[in-house]
């Protein structure tokens, strides 16, 4: 499954680096470009929680992974058939719904490990995820430069089709589910609407805001406007962001139960915010790559550290609902990162002002991280 996750995310991210540029070529406004980039997060925001509840009630993970792979194939095919900003936005929406199965990837892979290996399992599958993202971003630039922008959509569709067949052969242990104690949206909200989960969700959303508002939003447009970057150079921007996540996730596998998580989060938000505000001041593509690497590294440390805390100690029949609740609402960062940056860009026509929000929200996150907690359930926190 570790191997299969790599091509899955190649299919998801195989045309991500050229989305905003492609939309710009079709004369989409900055706000519409932001909506297209944000549609990916909106798909996750709306789909993750219902899929999580459904998964817990069925006691199954594999079927949701298979369906996610199918949607990863349908998304790029739609853009191949019809090239327009609206269809591109719908394509990204379907891709977002496809990646809503990511929680099911994590849970199925974690089921192959003992309970004490949860953090290690999440870290390892995250390494696979980001390797796939890196390869997807990197290969898309090569394909777009040699064969044209549309070729990236053909490429991702073919990869998604292969992964679909691979997913059909995943092993899943059969479990019996107590139907009398079936999960409902009311139960999920009542159990998840506590201070700890809300804080975890907001903090993670801000970390993803930083990553998606830059690498998958307006950093590529900045590079085009100021450095006349070609498609391959644009793919490098997203590639270094996702490649930086690989050592970040591996580092998180080494974090023990007594680690000072607050310290890690405070440092990560500080450096992520500093790198974000410096992006529009980049004097060269090299410096831009370095800054974007910092955003990717520390932004993904934030996500990987917090994710295991959400499901630690939960029974099997509640894990998918709780994790998908968390993932659904942290997807707000993926939605609003590009959208708000696009709105500010439309009004101000300034990259500096558009990126200025990043250090502000990072500072807010640091203040939230330092809030004292009394709950015994969050001992590592």
Q: Higher-confidence residue: 100 or 183?
A: 100
What confidence tier does 277 reach under pLDDT thresholds 50, 70, 90?
very high
Percent of the chain with pLDDT over 70: 89
Cα-based angle 11, 16, 20 (whole degrees, multiple of 5) = 155
Structural domain includes residue 190: yes
Query: What pLDDT, in 10s, does the model give residues 95-131?
Result: 999 998 988 898 898 888 887 777 678 778 888 888 8
What confidence tier does 378 reach under pLDDT thresholds 50, 70, 90?
very low
CB of 129 within 8 A of CB of 121? no
Structural domain includes residue 178: no
Structural domain includes residue 175: no
pTM for the full model? 0.72
Q: Higher-confidence residue: 375 or 291?
A: 291
Structural domain includes residue 111: yes
Query: What pLDDT, in 10s, does the model give residues 137-175?
Result: 888 888 888 888 889 999 999 999 999 999 999 988 877
Handedness of CA 212, 218, 219, 221 (dihedral sign): positive
> CATH number of the domain that 62 lies in?
1.20.1250.20
Structural domain includes residue 174: no
Tokens of 60: 């199954």
pLDDT of residue 161: 95
Distance between CA 264 and CA 170 in Å, rounded?
A: 35
What confidence tier does 271 reach under pLDDT thresholds 50, 70, 90?
very high
Residue entry with tokens 């192959």: 112
Which residues span the domain enclosing 210? 2-169+184-378
Distance between CA 156 and CA 11 in Å, rounded?
A: 4
Distance between CA 190 and CA 193 in Å, rounded?
A: 6
| Range 196-203 average pLDDT | 81
Percent of the chain with pLDDT over 90: 27
Distance between CA 378 and CA 380 in Å, rounded?
A: 6
Structural domain includes residue 63: yes
Structural domain includes residue 176: no
Q: Which of 25-29, 52-56, 81-85, 312-316 has the lowest mean pLDDT?
A: 312-316
The most confident of 112-126, 250-264, 327-341, 345-359, by mean pLDDT: 345-359
Structural domain includes residue 146: yes
Count of structural domains, the chain? 1
DSSP state for residue 218 in the 8-state scheme: I
CB of 306 within 8 A of CB of 200? yes
Tokens of 150: 């549309």
pLDDT for residue 379 is more than 50: no
Mean pLDDT of the chain: 83
Nearest to 33 by CA among 217, 214, 211, 215: 217
Q: Which of 5-14, 78-87, 328-337 has the lowest mean pLDDT?
A: 328-337
CB of 380 within 8 A of CB of 313? no
Distance between CA 120 and CA 203 in Å, rounded?
A: 21
Distance between the two ends of the chain, CA-based, in angstroms? 30
Nearest to 136 by CA among 117, 106, 159, 169: 159
In the chain, where do the E strands start and end? none
Tokens of 34: 């932001």
Query: What pLDDT, in 10s, does the model give residues 32-87?
Result: 888 888 888 888 888 888 888 888 788 888 999 999 999 999 999 999 998 889 89
CB of 130 within 8 A of CB of 245? yes
């Amino acid at each position: 499954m570790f191997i299969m996750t790599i091509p899955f995310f190649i299919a998801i991210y195989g045309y991500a680096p050229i989305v905003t540029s492609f939309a710009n070529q079709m004369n989409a406004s900055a706000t519409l470009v932001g909506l297209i980039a944000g549609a990916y997060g909106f798909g996750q925001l709306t789909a993750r929680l219902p899929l999580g509840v459904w998964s817990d009630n069925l006691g199954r993970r594999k079927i949701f992974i298979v369906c996610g792979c199918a949607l990863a194939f349908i998304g790029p095919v739609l853009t191949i058939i019809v090239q327009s900003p609206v269809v591109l936005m719908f394509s990204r929406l379907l891709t977002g719904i496809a990646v809503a199965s990511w929680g099911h990837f994590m849970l199925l892979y974690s089921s192959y490990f003992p309970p004490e290996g949860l953090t290690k399992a999440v870290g390892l599958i995250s390494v696979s995820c980001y390797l796939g993202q890196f390869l997807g971003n990197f290969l898309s630039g090569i394909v777009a430069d040699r064969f044209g922008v549309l070729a990236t959509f053909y490429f991702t569709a073919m990869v998604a089709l292969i992964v679909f067949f691979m997913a059909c052969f995943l092993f899943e242990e059969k479990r019996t589910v107590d139907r009398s104690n079936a999960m409902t949206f009311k139960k999920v909200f009542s159990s998840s609407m506590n201070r700890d989960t809300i804080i975890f969700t907001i903090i993670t959303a801000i970390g993803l805001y930083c990553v998606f508002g830059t690498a998958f939003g307006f950093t590529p447009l900045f590079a085009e406007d100021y450095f006349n970057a070609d498609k391959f150079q644009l793919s490098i921007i997203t590639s270094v962001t996702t490649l930086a996540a690989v050592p970040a996730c591996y580092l998180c596998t080494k974090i023990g139960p007594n680690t000072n998580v607050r310290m890690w989060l405070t440092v990560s938000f500080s450096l992520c915010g500093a790198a974000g505000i410096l992006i529009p001041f980049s004097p060269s593509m090299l410096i831009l790559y370095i800054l974007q690497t910092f955003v990717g590294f520390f932004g993904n440390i934030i996500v990987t550290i917090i994710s295991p805390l959400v499901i630690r100690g939960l029974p099997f029949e509640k894990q998918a609902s709780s994790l998908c609740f968390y993932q659904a609402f942290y997807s707000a960062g993926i939605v609003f990162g590009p959208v708000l940056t696009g709105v500010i860009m439309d009004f101000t026509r300034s990259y500096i002002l558009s990126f200025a929000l990043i250090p502000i929200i990072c500072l807010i996150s640091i203040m939230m991280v330092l809030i004292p907690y009394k709950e015994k359930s969050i001992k590592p926190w």
